[in-house]
Structure 1
């Protein structure tokens, strides 16, 4: 195999804030070790330091200066594959305060909420910073990600994780990131400008629909990330009833790996099933309303047991008791 050309080893420009490096491993970078059983270890390279496991030790100095994608044998004959961690690998192993948005959902948010370089994005909340890293990489250093987090301890964890992934120099942060401690409902009106995308990773996103509508540019996208079917129903119906958004689109994604070995080709035993539901809708221009769906709701969809937001053209269903009271009156 030919030697890499000189320009192949030049690092990604620091001003890109990509969180990615190329070329030989350097002191201060993080690496990801995977052993023969698939166990993963992430740590920072420090000259003169050693990594210890039940398979003996490895010297950091034996990794520094080498191109990633090599195997080292430990002092007790354990073999380790060594690469820089990818973003999806980093977020599932980073320290956590709140639960993280998993890579399969972060990828869907970036793609289907159409996060682009230069976009002005607001997220609530910051959690542990997993989604923040994806959003910052998508908007680039010339965009803006404003993250609202209610809990200071979660904000601290998110700050450390984001700084670690993007290798932020001491005392600096990603130039596109603005982490704010506070409530989105109070913070959005104080921004002073409209934004292009709003991501709601919170317990009650339906309570933010009015301020989100005011903050989004016409054509902007709101994306809600919720865990349960009751939350899903409430946020979809609230967006629908508001009238200033297109018909909400709810979905979830499931990921199943496959075992492929000669003629033994079958679904894997592990699957990333339900993590969350996603809902997207686009903001209409001021004073405009999206056409109502012509398809009638399913029978009983808004029946006597339904207590959530109700479209204006679907009147409440009168119960037998209510009808009797009206008749007696």
Structure 2
């Protein structure tokens, strides 16, 4: 059974609203409103055990999941929440061994979540233009333990003259104007490869959808996901007054081939075949009539 030791990640869990994610260090103590939690008291215990604080309150020692890392991530930008992350992974069919393109790293929540799924054979290639956000994302990705499966690059793909990747399985876009990069994303995706774009407003969805159709994407779907929790208690179960409402809109699509180029070629060829040829008839020169002289 897994035992907690020095540098082990632990989620100190008191209740759904009071929980702390940390790394165990023998000399450290955690001061909270429910009392002092000594890290040294956790060493040697099995995950799932509980500690009693000096105020006679207890906390459970839980092994952190990727959900915990995402929810406790350091925010530099708005993060993508688990209720949306799960749908992205399921709808796009993201799995181990895939190559993922991400444009707009942000705080690294989506990056970390996806990297944890595609490992150990897959990889996430993520691009951003803000160095400060990239540093925050790097710390979050490292804390989640997936740095080995992520490559970060400071590059603006909107203006890039050469494309850094090819044959990607999935592209994840988190930009204010995602429609601008769609032509380049198409070139980097494999056939039938998926796109997921995160859009805060419906106006963005409209422009994005037009760009997807123009660039030959199909299976286009826009969704919004609302999460409402239930407080299940004996004799008084009800909906929770708290929940996660609107966070973002999601737009999904797949790369296809509409046959536009071949159709244009066919139309051109057909036009050339049926185009009437105008041939000029040779103009006959007038002939001079010979006149006979009378003798």
Q: Could you say which residue in structure 2 is the equivalent of 1:273?
A: 245
What is the Cα deviation at residue 189 of structure 1?
Answer: 3.8
Structure 2 residue aligned with 1:217, among 171, 190, 193? 190
Distance 2:95 2:150 in 1: 15
What 5-or-longer segments of structure 2 have no aligned partner? Answer: 262-295
Aligned residue number for residue 139 of structure 1: 118
Aligned counterparts of 1:78 and 1:153: Cα–Cα separation in 2: 39
Q: Kindly name which structure, 1 or 2, has the bigger radius of gyration based on alpha carbons.
A: 2
Give the 3 Å change call, closer, same or farther, for CA 259–76 of structure 1 in structure 2.
Answer: closer
CA distance in 2 between counterparts of 1:36 and 1:253 reads 25
Choose which of 25, 35, 39 in structure 1 pairs with 2:4. 25
Distance 1:222 1:101 in 2: 16
Q: What is the TM-score when the length of structure 2 is the normalising length? A: 0.83
Give yes or no for contact 1:189–1:215 (8 Å, CA) kept in 2: no
**C-alpha distance in structure 2 between counterparts of 1:138 and 1:37, whole Å:** 25
Deviates more, 1:273-282 or 1:34-43: 34-43
Aligned partners of 2:166 and 2:190 also within 8 Å: no
1:261 to 233, 258, 270: 233
Post-superposition offset of 1:30: 2.0
Relative distance call for 1:188 and 1:227 in structure 2 (3 A) is farther
CA gap of 1:149–1:193, structure 2 versus 1, over 3 A, is same
Distance change >3 Å, CA 135–CA 36, structure 1 → 2: closer
Query: Which residue of 2 is the match for residue 249 of structure 1?
Result: 221
Give CA deviations for 1:81-101 in whole Å, capped at 9, x if unaligned.
221222112211121211111
Q: Which residue of 2 aligns with 1:206?
A: 179
Superposed displacement of residue 55, structure 1: 3.1
What residue number does 1:97 align with?
A: 76
- Name the CA distance, whole Å, in 2 between partners of 1:159 and 1:192: 21
Matched, 1:59 2:38: yes
- Deviates further, 157-166 or 259-268: 259-268
Question: Greater strand percent: which structure?
Answer: 2
Per-residue CA deviation, residues 210-251 of structure 1 (Å, 9 max, x unaligned), is 111111111101111111111111111221233x11141111
Distance 2:213 2:228 in 1: 32
Shift of 1:186: 4.2
After superposition, the CA RMSD in angstroms is 1.9
- Hey, what does 2:27 align to over in structure 1? 48
Match of 1:76 among 28, 52, 55: 55
User: 1:78 Cα shift?
Assistant: 2.2
Q: 1:250·1:279 contact (CA, 8 Å) conserved in 2?
A: yes
Deviation at 1:76, TM superposition (A): 2.1
Task: Give the Cα–Cα distance (whole angstroms) in 1 for the partners of residues 257 and 214 of structure 2.
Answer: 16
Q: TM-score, normalised by structure 1?
A: 0.75
**C-alpha separation in 2, matches of 1:132 and 1:200:** 11
Aligned-partner Cα distance in 2 for 1:36–1:56: 14
Q: 2:254 aligns with which of 249, 268, 282?
A: 282
Cα displacement string for residues 159-201 of structure 1 (whole angstroms, at most 9, x for unaligned residues): 11111111x7xxxx31x31100121234594325221110001
Paired residue for 1:294? none
Q: Is the 8 A contact 1:240 1:247 kept in 2?
A: no
1:190 pairs with one of 163, 178, 203: 163
Confirm or deny: 8 A CA contact 1:194 1:215 kept in the other structure.
yes
